[in-house]
Amino acid sequence: MKLTVVGAGAWGSALAIAFSGRHVVTLWARQAEVRRVLREDRENPRFLPGQRFPETLRIADDFAAAVADADLLLIATPLAGLRPTLCMLRDADLVRPLLWACKGLEAVTARLPHQVVADVLGVQALCGAVSGPSFADEVARGLPTAVTLAANDAAFAQRTALALHSPRLRIYASDDLPGVEVGGAVKNVMAIATGVCDGLGLGLNARAALITRGLAEMARFGVALGGQAQTFMGLAGMGDLILTCTGDLSRNRRVGLGLASGKTLPQILLDLGHVAEGVSTTRAVAGLASRLRIDMPITQAVDAILYDGEPVASAVDKLLSRDPKSEAN
C-alpha cells in the first residue's frame, strides 16, 4: 500500500518509520527547511533524535504529488493543524481515504476530529482515527505497542487495521469513532492532573484514585457525545489514560509536574518544546461539559489552574473537600 503521512512531528515521524517495513511510505512536512533536514539527516533531530529513517522512507517536497500518489493518508499534525490540512486536500481536490492521529477537541469549536472532517469534507465513510497508549519514541524504536483504529465504517476500520497491523505495532479495529476520540482527548487532561498530584507528593494512593475517577469522567463525557461505555475500558480509554498519567515521556504529565513546582504555563511549554494537547483540550472539554451539564470536577480543577489563575494547592483542596457520593456517579 502507498501511504502518505502528513505532519513530521514526533508522532508522524514515528508512524512513518513503523509503517515503512511493509508499505511504501512518504512523509511530508509543511516547512521546507524541516523537509531538507529530514532528507539530509535521515532522522528527525528535533522530535526523534537518534531514530534513523529506513532507506525506503521518502521525504516529499510537493504536497499535491505526495497525496495524489497515496492509497491512504495519515494526518499526524497537532489538532490545530487538522482543519487547515483538510482544507488543503479539499481545495486541491485531493481527498483520499484518510486517518488522523491527532487527539483533542478543536479549541474554538470544541468539536471532535471526525466532526472537523465532516465540516470540511462532508460526511465521508472512508476515514477514521488512530489512538491508544503509544509514545512516539517507543514506536519508532520498534517496541511492542497496541493501538485502536476507529471508523464509522466498520468494514473500512477492519480492512485498514489489518493492512497496517504488524507484530510490533498491533492495531485493533473499532466502530466507536467518538468514543475513541474522547478517550484520546480527555486522557491528556487527566495526565496534567496526575502530574500535579505527583509533583505535590500526594502519594501513590492519591494517584490511583485520581486516575480511576478520571476514567469515570472520561466515560461520562464520552457516552454523552455518542461513545460506547465499553470503549473506555479498552486501549483508547483506560490503556491510554494509564500510560499518559504514569509515563515519564508524557508531555501533559510534565505540564502538571511543572505547575506543581510553581512554574508558569508559558515557561513550562517553552521548556517542553513540543505541543501538549491537554492544555487547549482542557478548556474545550470543560466548556462543553458545562454546557451539557456533565459533572467533571477533575477537568474543572485543571481548567481553573490553567486559565483562571487558581493556585494549585487551592484547586486540590477543593477536590478533596467535595462531598462523598456513590462511586457509580
Catalytic center residues: 187
* Same domain, yes or no: 249 and 129: no
pLDDT (tens digit, 9 = 90+) per residue, 68-98?
A: 989 999 999 999 999 999 999 999 999 899 9
Res 34 pLDDT > 90:
yes
Res 8 pLDDT > 80:
yes
163 exposure class (CB count in 10 Å sphere: 0-12, 13-18, 19+): middle
- Cell digits of residue 200: 505535590
* Same domain, yes or no: 167 and 194: no
Q: What is the pLDDT of residue 328?
A: 78
pLDDT (tens digit, 9 = 90+) per residue, 135-166?
A: 999 999 999 999 999 998 999 999 999 999 99
In eight-state DSSP terms, residue 54 is: P
* Same domain, yes or no: 249 and 303: yes
Instruction: Answer whether residue 149 is part of any domain.
Output: yes
Q: What is the pLDDT of residue 123?
A: 77
Q: What is the pLDDT of residue 323?
A: 84
Task: Give the three-state DSSP class for 3.
Answer: strand
- Which of the four pLDDT bands, split at 50, 70 and 90, describes residue 39? very high
Task: Give the three-state DSSP class for 100.
Answer: strand
Query: End of a domain among 147, 175, 203?
Result: 175
Rounded to the nearest 10 degrees, the angle between the axes of helix 251-260 and helix 265-272 is 140
Which residues are CB-contacts of 104 (< 8 A; sequence separation ≥ 6)?
79, 113, 184, 185, 188, 277, 278, 280, 281, 284
Instruction: Answer whether residue 325 is part of any domain.
Output: no
Q: What is the pLDDT of residue 191?
A: 97
Q: Which of 103, 276, 195 has the alpha carbon at shortest distance from 266?
A: 276
Q: What is the pLDDT of residue 327?
A: 82
Strands (E), 137-206: 145-150, 169-174
Handedness of CA 54, 60, 63, 69 (dihedral sign): negative
Query: End of a domain among 126, 147, 175?
Result: 175
Query: End of a domain among 175, 206, 226?
Result: 175
- Which of the four pLDDT bands, split at 50, 70 and 90, describes residue 21? confident
- Cell digits of residue 22: 511493509
* Same domain, yes or no: 6 and 154: yes
- Cell digits of residue 81: 493543524
| CATH code for the domain of 114 | 3.40.50.720
Domain holding 153, by residue range, is: 2-175
User: Is pTM beyond 0.85 here?
Assistant: yes
Res 325 pLDDT > 90:
no
* Same domain, yes or no: 117 and 234: no
In eight-state DSSP terms, residue 48 is: B
- Hey, what's the torsion of the CAs at 297, 280, 204, 311, to 10 degrees? -70
* Same domain, yes or no: 136 and 193: no
Res 324 pLDDT > 90:
no
Strand partners, 171: 147
Res 329 pLDDT > 90:
no
Q: Which of 76, 92, 87 has the alpha carbon at shortest distance from 44?
A: 76
Task: Give the three-state DSSP class for 174.
Answer: strand
In eight-state DSSP terms, residue 235 is: I
- Other Cβ atoms less than 10 A from the Cβ of 93: the count is 8
Task: Give the three-state DSSP class for 256.
Answer: helix
Number of domains in the chain: 2
pLDDT (tens digit, 9 = 90+) per residue, 218-260?
A: 999 999 999 999 999 999 999 999 999 999 999 999 999 999 9
Q: How far is Cα 50 from Cα 244, in angstroms, rounded to an integer?
A: 23
Question: Is there a contact between 148 and 180 (Cβ–Cβ < 8 Å)?
Answer: yes
Q: What is the pLDDT of residue 99?
A: 98
* Same domain, yes or no: 145 and 190: no
What mean pLDDT, rounded, does the chain reach?
A: 95
